[in-house]
Structure 1
Amino acid sequence: MKSYIKKNLSTVFFAAVLIVGLCIFLYPSVSNYLNGLKQSKAIADYNTALDSMTPEDYSSFWQAATLYNEKLASGVMDFNLTDEEMEEYNTILDPTGTGIIGYLEIENIGVNLPIYHGVEESVLSVGIGHLPGTSFPTGTASTHTVLSGHRGLPSAELLTNLDQMIEGDTFLLHIMDQVFAYEVDSINIVLPNETESLYIYDGEDYVTLVTCTPYGVNTHRLLVRGKRVDYNQEERLIITADATMYSTLTVAIFIAVPILFVIFIVFMIRTSKHFNKGK
């Protein structure tokens, strides 16, 4: 009897260790998938809210953003806003009242993330942050939008693969009723305090994507800058259904494997019981 109990305890312990190890191994993939669902829902809710807006609503938000950008272009950029300036900042391009400005799409690296006001940790853990004190994306000249995102989080991929971008690649900003396309024209690695390349250039419309580098060390900043180019939606027929199915299937397999493993262990224990009873 003691031998039987000891054998079963060993089997259960071994199974528990394997299950825990498997869960740890699968956590990044499953967590990233679940975060992806949240991000997709945030974008879907944003688009749904836009459906109820009138042309006058859009015009009002665009006008406020344009005026804000003009003030930035005519003065000295300061990334540290006062409380009063932050209050004004948080109302710009926030048609849904949720802090979402729009969303960033980078087809090359599979990015589709909501863009929020500010770069607080609460923002960067779930999406892309817009750096206060930089231009809002309005598709106009003499603007320079700076968007920041994490990489290497165990719970979300975010901008982990931004270093795979090369000059000539494009990315899109979906802002209210507009889509702005940007072609990467400059990639640089700088120290955190080197902000000169984030300044506004007269007559240019730039967006710079910022993330930490090297991966896991984070002592520097990777700057991927894009210059606005014409956007033709008809030339970009993106089929996302297959990608979505693949992602869902992958995660379904990840979830099914430990469940099937548990069922297998239970089956083995019961078989062992019957075998020992037969003895």
Structure 2
Amino acid sequence: MRGKARQIIMIILFGAGLLVFAFPFAEMAVNHFVMQHNLQMTAAANQREAKRVQELQKTKGDQVGDSFSANNLSKAEKAHMLGTIDIPSIKLSLPVFDVATEASLNLGAGVVRGTDMPVGGKDRHTAISAHNGIPTKVLFTNLHLVKKGDVFVITVNGVHRAYQVERKQTVKPTNVKPLARQAGRDLATLITCTPYMINTHRLLVTGHRVPYTAKIADAVHHAKQAATAYAVIFIVTLFWVIFTLLCYTIWRLKWQKDGPVRQ
């Protein structure tokens, strides 16, 4: 009886250990589906935000600062979702909020205070920041993998605006000169902390406006499908491994107790 109880306890402990180990990975995959669902649900509502975006654009000219500085991360200020940013080369799709706050940067990306709203136009330079990683979410984690010539798409009020990467640079948090407007140009810069977990500098990926073509639209669509497929495969594989290890543990404990079956 004691041996059986010991087996049950060992199985429970082993199963609990597997679940604890797997939980962060499963949560990351689930967060992907939640984020995609939220993006779809808010797409229609964002089309009614055009007037508010125009009002926000008037605040351009405020002092530009480091989005990740404690002085610029408001806990009380409420951020509103503007649209989305898609980076097909790293299979990423994130919500974009009208300002980078502590809350918005935990959910997606935010517009750097004092820079242009991401609505395009000449003499415009929008800057969008996101964390390089949160334990259970993929944000700008792989931004360093984006190469010159890659394209990212910012969608606001149902309008897709494509930008082709022309420059990557690493700067100190206080250096905001690369975010300045350039005469006659429509620019967008993506920002995240670097190196990972050290965060002493900022990685800037800057792109210039290019036509939003059918080829780019297809790339965005396929990237979203691939990201979802990877999440599904990951979840299924993870739980299959857990199930297999649990079954093996049960069999192993039973074999040790009863010994091999003899003919």
Length-normalised TM-score, structure 1: 0.76
Q: Which residue of 2 aligns with 1:43?
A: 39
Q: CA RMSD in A?
A: 3.2
Whole-angstrom CA distance in 1 between matches of 2:26 and 2:141: 16
Amino acid at match of 1:9: R
Counterpart residue number, 2:188: 207
Q: In the alignment, is the contact (CA less than 8 A) between 2:98 and 2:117 conserved in 1?
A: no
Aligned length, in residue pairs:
249
What is the aligned partner in structure 2 of residue 133 from structure 1?
114
Write out aligned runs for 1:99-178 (5 A): 99-178=80-159
Q: Is the 8 A contact 1:184 1:227 kept in 2?
A: yes
Residue deviations 1:107-143 (CA, integer Å, cap 9, x gap): 0001101011322222212211111211101121111
- Residue 244 of structure 1 is matched in structure 2 by 228
Query: Contact 2:168–2:203 at 8 Å: present in 1 too?
Result: yes
CA distance 1:159–1:271, change in 2 (3 Å):
same
Q: Which has the larger radius of gyration?
A: 1
The change in CA–CA distance for 1:206 and 1:242 in structure 2 (over 3 A counts) is: closer
Seen in structure 2, the aligned counterparts of structure 1 residues 235 and 31 have a Cα distance that, compared at 3 Å, is closer
The one of 228, 240, 251 equivalent to 1:256 is: 240
- C-alpha distance in 2 between matches for 1:250 and 1:134: 38
Counterpart in the other structure of 2:71: none
Q: Who is 1:69 aligned against?
A: 57
Q: Indicate the larger mover: 206-215 or 260-269.
A: 260-269
Contact 1:35 1:126 in 2 (8 A): no
The one-letter code matched in structure 2 to 1:253 is T
Tell me how far apart the structure 2 counterparts of residues 133 and 25 of structure 1 sit (CA, whole Å): 42
- One-letter amino acid of the structure 2 residue matched with residue 248 of structure 1: V
**CA–CA separation in structure 1 for the residues paired with 2:178 and 2:226:** 38
Contact kept in structure 2, 1:19 and 1:258, CA below 8 Å: no
- 2:184 & 2:53 partners in 1: Cα distance? 17
- Contact 1:79-1:134 at 8 Å conserved across structures: no
Aligned counterpart for 2:13 among listed residues 12, 16, 25: 16
With 125-134 and 184-193 compared, the bigger mean Cα shift is at: 125-134
8 Å Cα contact 1:15/1:265 also seen in 2: no
User: Which residue identity does 2:130 align to in structure 1?
Assistant: G
Offset at 1:25?
4.6
| Higher RCO (CA < 8 A, seq sep 6+) | 2
Task: Tell me the equivalent position of 1:193.
Answer: 174
- Contact map agreement 1:129 1:148 (CA 8 A) in 2: yes
SS in structure 2 of the partner of residue 36 of structure 1: helix
- The 1:219–1:18 alpha-carbon spacing in structure 2 relative to 1, beyond 3 Å, is farther
Structure 2: runs of 5+ lacking an equivalent: 67-73
Instruction: Give the distance between the partners of 2:115 and 2:175, measured in 1 at CA.
Output: 15
Residue pair 1:207, 1:225 contacting (<8 A) in 2 also = yes
Shift of 1:207: 0.9
Seen in structure 2, the aligned counterparts of structure 1 residues 39 and 77 have a Cα distance that, compared at 3 Å, is: same
CA-CA distance at 1:15 after TM superposition:
7.0
Q: SS at 1:125's partner residue?
A: helix
Instruction: Determine if contact 2:90/2:145 at 8 Å carries over to the other structure.
Output: yes
Identify which range, 62-71 or 141-150, moves more after superposition: 62-71
On the 8 A contact 1:104/1:114 being kept in 2, the answer is yes
AA matched with 2:100: V
Give the gaps of 5 or more residues in structure 1. 81-85, 91-97
Contact 1:28-1:156 at 8 Å conserved across structures: no
Identity within the alignment, %: 26
d(CA) in 2 for partners of 1:76 and 1:241? 39
| Residue 275 of structure 1: how far off its partner (Å) | 6.0
For 2:16 and 2:254, the matched residues in 1 are separated by: 18
- Cα deviation for residue 268 of structure 1 reads 4.4
